[in-house]
Structure 1
Amino acid sequence: MKLAFTISTLSQGGAERVITNMANHWAGKGHEVTILTLSVSSINSFFKLDSSIKVVGLAAGRSSKNPFEAVINNARRIFAIRKTLKTLAPDILISFMTETNILSIISTVGLSFPVIVSERANPKVYPNSIIWKLLRSVVYPIADKIILQSEASKDNFSGIIKKKCAVIPNPVSYVKDSKQDFKVTIKQKKTIVSLGRLVEEKGYDLLLNAFSRIRAHHNDWSLVIYGDGPLRGQLEGAMDELKLSDAVQFPGITNDPTEALLKADLFVLSSTTEGFPNALCEAMACGLPVISFDCLYWPAEIIDNGKNGILVPTGDVNKLAEAMEALINDNDHRETLAKEARKITERLGADKIMEAWSKLIDKLV
């Protein structure tokens, strides 16, 4: 089978990682896989791709200075996608991310292969442009299938779109070296870890504030936030203002999030909104005790509060600080949560999720 993907870039990010894993899975099964990115500069994947996978940069990712340029640039993107797909003649096209999904649907009108689009962010929040939201409502019914991350997210769409929706969450890989029997070890320093882009919706300002409230009583604990983004300077400034520079690190992007998680003692997801919390699931698969804001969507569908993790009200810094301190002080509870957390791979294991994708594709081609 010939499979084609479209996505804006192959840089760091949850959607990029998932599309890479899916492409590698099907390439490993002997299928011909091509990934189209909107710009030439994005053809180098942050995540490792199978050598058989072809990546085509469309040189169509230029930024727009005004609405007129936006129309012209998007027309160029549509033309570039359509021209390339007509040459590739895939058996199916899978597109990731709202704007790219819309452009991909329009570019394939009249072509003979089915199109699946996948919403990766929270559709209640994204896109934040009224124009793109309107285009989504008009264009999405043309797609053959629309993949969402959760059942609850269907409520953000009209009835005609809902009929074409299917829920397939992200795959969570089994971690061979996970903390199968998490034991609290006696060491000088313990680490709270978080991973993600340094953007507003990740709530790292809230996490810093929560950590500052417990730091004085727990000098043996530090906070490490992996990732990069536009708010790095602002967050580092907040760290200094809270006098946490000796206890908080921003090491940047990690090429091996699994290794970073396995070195940690506690994971915190401070996001105020999520399409699908990849980092949370990865932390659980690694056998870490986890705390998460109960944001839309997914944390409450993943965490059975008090059994395999802790949920706190979204944005409540006091409750987050209390939950962190409670687990820091309760070694037994951390061990129990960690043991149950690993079972996430039984529900969202990569083989199970990819089987769902394969069954869907078989129905369409």
Structure 2
Amino acid sequence: MKKLCFIINHISSGAGTERVAINIINGLAERGHDITLVTLWNSGESFFELNERVRTISLFEEKLPLYRNYLKLVLAIRRFLKDGNFDIVVNIETMLTLLVSPAVRGLGIAHVNWEHYNFTASSDSMLRPVARYVAAWTATAVVTLTEADTRMWQNRTRPRARMKTINNPLPFRKPDYHYHPDSRVVLAVGRLFHQKGFDLLLQTWHQVIGKHPDWTLQIVGSGEEEQALKAQARELTIEDSVEFHPHTKNIEAFYDQAGIFCLSSRFEGFGMVLIEAAAHGVPLASFDCLAGPAEIIDDEHNGLLAEAENTQALAEILERLMSDESLRSSYSRRAYDSIDRFKPEIILPKWEALFEELSMTTSSTCRTD
């Protein structure tokens, strides 16, 4: 089994990146791999439960600004990797390649950059596009979440790194099939910020609720746009049919009672909530945004896709589902049957196969000081 090091900023957040990363790490640990999870700074206990076999270490007690502490961060990572005698290091999220790539140079350790967005998503940092090119040209491998994103990396960076698509796994055991076709709930889940497009969803809901006054929109999540979204609901006079619920670890309870799941994101890295909803037999409606929904939803088979950011188009597919119980039931069963390919027992061997390939290519590399 391989000796693996995963590096992440911190693990106290309940965000999707941390959730997926810890699910993969836990799964690999269960399969016997020797894993150390390194956080750059100590932010307290992990929001998600970690397997007891996983060692954790924080390099610093407090967050260090990148610009003023770049060399300090790189050297700290390098010392840890060198002393740990790891086979492979995985940076969780592409920005960390700016630290890991120089830190690993000359150590004979395979370096995997794990992309959690898509190639076009860079609004949070001007350095993110730079980090992607650094990863493409210096990492041993780049893992993306979708085939569409892999193609974008290949077309735009002409990478030296090995490109590999590995979907995110279903984060819980697939429950027995059940669906409530008489449910009058449209469910949306995600952090309340610009990317997730909840403002677009409220505009969409304003277009459909007049014809379906017995339906409710439930938005589950927390974030910086919460008050603005609640104000928007009031301005659109739809507040009586919209429920806001805070982020919860018990999201399965919401999936269990939903009639339709709707994803309104402007962009995605994958679209985890779609496979979670499908695992609970909830029919899917989504913007066809970059990247992920089109690789999860087979349009007109297990759900419906609408042109990205087109609220009228999204309203039309929601109305189709809300008006047709038979169609919802049909898409429900097909959605449920379609997500076995995302089970952990399918996804984890893909990571192991990649690690085996990388070990073979780096086994003859001599380590240097």
- TM-score in same-fold range (> 0.5): yes
Determine the structure 2 residue equivalent to 1:27.
29
1:225 to 1:141, Cα distance in 2 relative to 1, 3 A: same
C-alpha separation in 2, matches of 1:236 and 1:58:
40
Residue of structure 1 equivalent to 2:162: 164
Structure 2 residue corresponding to 1:264, chosen from 247, 255, 258: 258
**Which residue of the partner structure matches residue 314 of structure 2?**
320
Q: 2:133 aligned to 134, 137, 161, which one?
A: 137
Equivalent in the alignment of 1:362: 356
Rounded Cα–Cα distance in structure 2 between residues aligned with 1:82 and 1:15: 24
User: Superposition pairs for residues 1-365 of structure 1, below 5 Å?
Assistant: 1-10=2-11, 11-41=13-43, 43-59=44-60, 62=63, 64=65, 70-126=66-122, 129-153=125-149, 154-157=151-154, 158=156, 160-161=158-159, 164-173=162-171, 175-178=173-176, 180-185=177-182, 190-365=184-359
**Residues 1:322 and 1:209: Cα distance change in structure 2 (over 3 Å):** same
Counterpart contact for 1:36–1:57, Cα < 8 Å: yes
Q: Give the Cα–Cα distance (whole angstroms) in 1 for the partners of residues 334 and 261 of structure 2.
A: 14
Q: Is the 8 A contact 1:97 1:120 kept in 2?
A: yes
Q: Percent identity?
A: 31
Structure 2: unaligned runs, 5 residues or longer: 360-369
The 1-side partners of 2:355 and 2:128 are apart by: 27
Q: 2: CA distance between counterparts of 1:135 and 1:289? A: 37
Distance in 1 (CA, whole Å) between partners of 2:86 and 2:39 is: 16
- Whichever residue aligns with residue 45 of structure 2, its letter is N
**Residues in 1 aligned to 2:57 and 2:165: alpha-carbon distance in whole angstroms:** 28
Deviation of 1:267 (Å): 0.4
* Structure 2 residue matching 1:140: 3-state secondary structure: helix
In the superposition, the TM-score normalised over structure 2's length comes to: 0.90
Q: Tell me whether 123-132 or 270-279 shows the greater mean CA deviation.
A: 123-132
Q: TM-score, normalised by structure 1?
A: 0.91
Deviates more, 1:205-214 or 1:217-226: 217-226
Report deviation, 1:62.
2.9
Measured in 2, the distance between the counterparts of 1:199 and 1:60 equals 28
The letter of the residue matching 1:19 is: A
Given residue 130 of structure 2, which amino acid in structure 1 is its aligned partner?
L
Aligned-residue CA RMSD (Å): 2.0
Contact 2:220-2:244 within 8 A present in 1 as well: yes
Q: Distance in 2 between matches of 1:74 and 1:315?
A: 38
Q: 43-52 or 192-201: which moved more?
A: 43-52
SS in 2 for 1:36: strand
- In the alignment, structure 1 segments of 5+ residues that lack a partner are 65-69
